[in-house]
């Protein structure tokens, strides 16, 4: 008896219905089923840590992690809801067609561009499209026209509406930024362009800096004040770009090979929130300047290339320690937060609502428009630095101690018109030990010499050590531009 294949106009088709006598024989082709799944966007994404991840490509650019059950539901939807082939569905579920071998046969995504930003173009991902931002234009484009790939987890759950500058109402967050910069235009520009820098996806090898938020007024007695709003800035950043936030109080970097294991390719910022005074910025130089080595437990290490590795942001109630010197300084964008807010007067007291949590759709849209404008300002102007308030003084105290700074300021002074003064180092050291016996008990001669050099640098002087008649002399020179 002849077998006749029953034709179907639906494509792609992974099954055949063959007329056999008075019945119908169902044949399901594994190779055709693989083609069906591929037509629906399923692929194997080659992972940097090794192995493959089943994903689904949506709108030609959105990568969504997938599981085996989704393959099953695609077939079920096709057969029951679209084609109404109940007999084919029955045949499918009675056999095992979703195997490891089948999944491995899916096409592989090897080289995917996860960051097509450049110095003058940034992209932000919203529910209703990709926001393309340049120096002078903001445009919402469909995901189908985006030239790279984006993980679904990076998409902001908000339909962005561009508000023209003439109609724009500044957000509560922008008012908050005005407050924490003491309503000083130069400080406001510094902070907003730093935010623009950190949310811009482009990694510039000539601008490898961490954004560090510290309080303008610090308590060096060991008690942290806080409550000035630094974490709100961190939340703002995480609201517009994929951010891994780590609790700064519980950080353990010493000998911790697995510190970065929760980072992945989707993260654009790593935010260390409210770090303790013992954190050493030097431990994070690799995050700022180069490729990032990742090691997970029981897995082979791998590397995230510099171009798509996350930028670093830190907030602290203390000065963030580092190695000192130009190498350390050039890796920092340090923002001093004015103490407009405190534990006794919070943003909730000021605005009458919780920032972010109590906003409606329109308020969120105003916030997103402002954040985009900060990024645009950064692309046009770079980091708009402002003069430090207490930063240099606080760094000097951190590098030495408060008693030494007080002593040096009182005992190393230039008279009007002087550009050089000389001090006997031993006499100076003993005088310091006599005046501050408790604070100086662990300060050696060598440490005292180093502190003199740090004090000189922070005060804009130069120091030089020499011998004279068997005595150690230290000369302090006032730089030409510091002479009265």
pLDDT digits over 276-301, tens only? Answer: 888 899 989 888 988 888 888 877 78
The reported pLDDT for the residue numbered 429 is 96
Cα 239 to Cα 143: distance, rounded to the nearest angstrom: 20
Q: For the residues 472-482, what does the mean pLDDT come to?
A: 83
Q: Closest Cα to residue 321, out of 260, 239, 394, 410?
A: 394
pLDDT of residue 9: 44
pLDDT level of residue 456 (50, 70, 90 thresholds): very high
To the question of pTM greater than 0.75 for the whole model, the response is yes
The answer to whether the Cα torsion of 9, 10, 16, 17 is positive or negative is negative
pLDDT in tens, 320-329: 988 877 888 8
Please give the mean pLDDT across all residues of the chain. Answer: 90
The CA-atom distances, in angstroms, between 362 and each of 126, 336, 352, 368 are 15, 30, 17, 10
For residue 482, name the pLDDT band (cuts at 50, 70, 90).
Answer: low
Q: Which two tokens stand for residue 304?
A: 């995230």
Q: Which domains does the chain have, with CATH numbers?
A: 4-109 (no CATH), 204-357+377-393 (3.40.50), 400-482 (3.90.1150)
Of residues 390 and 3, the one with the higher pLDDT is 390
Please say whether the beta carbons of 474 and 463 come within 8 A: yes
Selected residue with higher pLDDT from 328 and 407: 407
**Per-residue pLDDT for 3 more than 70?**
no
- Of 138-152, 160-174, 237-251, 338-352, minimum mean pLDDT range: 160-174
Tokens 């910025």 belong to 281
Q: Which of 458, 333, 331 is nearest to 385 (CA)?
A: 333
Task: Give residue 1's pLDDT.
Answer: 36
DSSP letters along 104-157, please?
A: HTS-EE-S--S---BTTEEEEEETTEEEEEESS-EEEE-GGG-SS-EEGGGSBS
């Amino acid at each position: 008896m002849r077998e006749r294949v029953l034709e179907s106009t639906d494509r792609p088709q992974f099954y055949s219905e063959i007329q056999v006598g008075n019945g119908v024989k169902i044949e399901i082709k594994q190779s055709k089923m693989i083609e069906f799944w591929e037509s629906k966007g399923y692929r194997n994404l080659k992972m940097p840590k090794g192995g493959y991840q089943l994903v689904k490509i949506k709108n030609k650019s959105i990568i969504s992690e997938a599981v085996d059950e989704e393959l099953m539901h695609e077939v079920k939807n096709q057969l029951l809801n679209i084609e109404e082939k109940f007999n084919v569905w029955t045949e499918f579920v009675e056999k095992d067609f979703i195997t490891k071998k089948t999944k491995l046969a899916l096409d592989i995504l090897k080289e995917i561009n996860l960051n097509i930003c450049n110095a003058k173009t940034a992209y932000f991902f919203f529910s209703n499209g990709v926001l393309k931002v340049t120096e002078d234009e903001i445009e919402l484009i469909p995901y189908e026209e985006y030239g790279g790939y984006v993980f679904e987890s990076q998409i902001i759950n908000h339909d962005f509406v561009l508000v023209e500058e003439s109609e724009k109402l500044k957000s509560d967050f922008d008012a908050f930024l005005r407050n924490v910069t003491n309503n000083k235009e130069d400080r406001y520009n510094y902070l907003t362009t730093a935010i623009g820098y950190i949310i811009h996806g482009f990694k510039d090898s000539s601008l490898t800096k961490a954004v560090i938020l510290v309080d303008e007024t610090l308590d060096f007695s060991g008690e942290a004040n806080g409550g000035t709003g630094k974490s709100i800035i961190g939340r703002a950043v995480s609201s517009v770009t994929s951010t891994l936030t780590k609790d700064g109080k519980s950080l353990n970097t010493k000998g911790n090979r697995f510190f970065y294991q929760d980072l992945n390719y989707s993260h654009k910022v790593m935010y260390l929130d409210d770090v303790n005074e013992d954190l050493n910025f030097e431990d994070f130089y690799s995050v700022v300047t180069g490729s990032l080595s990742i090691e997970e437990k029981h897995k082979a290490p791998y590397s995230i290339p510099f171009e798509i590795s996350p930028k670093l942001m830190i907030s602290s109630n203390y000065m963030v320690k580092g190695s000192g010197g130009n190498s350390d300084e050039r890796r920092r964008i340090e923002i001093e937060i004015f103490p407009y807010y405190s534990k006794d007067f919070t943003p909730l007291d000021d605005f009458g609502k919780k920032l972010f949590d109590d906003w409606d759709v329109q308020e969120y849209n105003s916030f997103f428009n402002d954040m985009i404008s900060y990024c645009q300002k950064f692309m046009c102007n770079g980091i708009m630095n402002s003069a430090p308030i207490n930063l240099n003084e606080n760094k000097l105290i951190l590098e030495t101690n408060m008693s030494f700074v007080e002593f040096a300021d009182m005992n190393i002074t230039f008279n009007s018109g002087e550009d050089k003064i000389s001090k006997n180092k031993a006499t100076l050291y003993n005088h310091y030990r006599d005046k501050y016996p408790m604070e100086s008990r662990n300060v050696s001669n060598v440490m005292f010499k180093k502190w003199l050099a740090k004090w000189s640098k922070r005060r804009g002087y130069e120091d030089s050590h020499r011998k004279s008649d068997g005595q150690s002399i230290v000369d302090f020179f006032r730089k030409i531009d510091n002479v009265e």
